[in-house]
Amino acid sequence: MKPLQTSSGDILADRRADYAEMLAGSGDPSAAAELMLGALELAPQWALGWFRLGEMHEAAGDMAAAARAWRRVLELEPVDPFGAGLKLELAGEAGSGGAPPSAFVEALFDQYAPKFDDSLVNRLAYSVPAALEAAIRAAHPGRFASAVDLGCGTGLMGERLRPLCDHLEGYDISGGMLRIAREKAVYDRLVKADLQTLVREGEPVDLVTAADVFIYVGALERVIATAASMLREGGVLAFSVEHWRGQGDVVLQPSRRYAHSETHVRSVLTKNALTLLTLEHHIIRQDRGQPIDGLLVVACNDPSAR
């Protein structure tokens, strides 16, 4: 996809936007929004500027103005690389889309790729790969002939899987993340793919993993069906989700990540003839100083469950 347009293309508009960001950073979002609006009068086609205007209005408590700005983003960039539609959903100004826009997920991780490992492991105490590896080993001792790592990112899960399997494939939507994964040389094959539309060709595999991936997918029905279709009989699926304890099956959170209820997870597994082997509660990372509760799930493709 094309790079995000971080400049408006107008020097004066960029200068006003820079001042607006300074005001926002100093705790005056109302004044920041007013100045950003002035920048957009000079550069009315600047989608990122409209998105930031919406966030400034949001910080100032003017959600009606924020919604207007985010709708303008969608008019300019219908593929929605900034996640404006998710912002509208969180603001109660749009119905649930069921899944984030693929362009938003791709742009998010392309930008995040260079600092991904350091931020996630060293700053946010991310522990899913190690914990999921332990859960896999406990549920299925021994090696796997073949494995697929969905949403492989920079290869943090792949590094854990490599000692467990003979052949390892990784799939991710972000070219930036895949470049880093390739440098680690832990995968036999890497493929750029959107998990929402992925159709894998080839023989069924023994193991499919998705470490901290479904939080950027939304409803699990389609992606779990895709994963199940890759597994041979008796094959293992292992994944993590953020745990939702309230009402509803799938909830979009202010972080623009999705949380899933245990009931939803169990239901989707059953619908896809996947027998639950283990389900563990686990703190998967820190977010703004708060622990994020998750579920680690290991299931197997069970023909008798059909």
End-to-end CA distance of the chain: 40
Cα separation, 86 vs 92, in Å, equals 10
CA distance 293 to 299: 20
Query: For the residues of 136-202, what is the DSSP string, one character each?
Result: HHHHS-S-EEEEEEET-TTSHHHHHHGGGEEEEEEEES-HHHHHHHHHHT--SEEEE--TTT----S
Contact 151, 127 (CB under 8 A): no
Options 3.40.720.10, 1.25.40.10, 1.20.1260.10, 1.10.4160.10; CATH for 11-95 is: 1.25.40.10
DSSP SS3 for 117: helix
Model confidence band, residue 306 (pLDDT cutoffs 50, 70, 90): low
Number of neighbouring beta carbons within 10 Å of residue 27? 9
The CATH classification of domain 114-305, taken from the options 3.60.15.10, 3.40.50.150, 3.20.10.10, 3.40.50.970: 3.40.50.150
Give residue-wise pLDDT tens across range 74-115.
999 999 999 999 999 999 887 776 788 999 999 999 988 888
Write out pLDDT tens, residues 53-81. 999 999 999 999 999 999 999 999 999 99
Instruction: Give residue-wise pLDDT tens across range 179-222.
Output: 999 999 999 999 999 998 999 988 999 999 999 999 998 889 99
Average pLDDT score over residue span 10-18: 93
d(CA 203, CA 91): 44
Strand, helix or coil for residue 283: strand
Of 248 and 237, more confident: 237
pLDDT band at 1 (very low <50, low <70, confident <90, very high): very low
- pLDDT exceeds cutoff 80 at 304: no
pLDDT of 258 strictly over 50:
yes
For residue 75, how far is the Cα from the chain centroid? Answer: 24
- Indicate the pTM of the whole model: 0.90
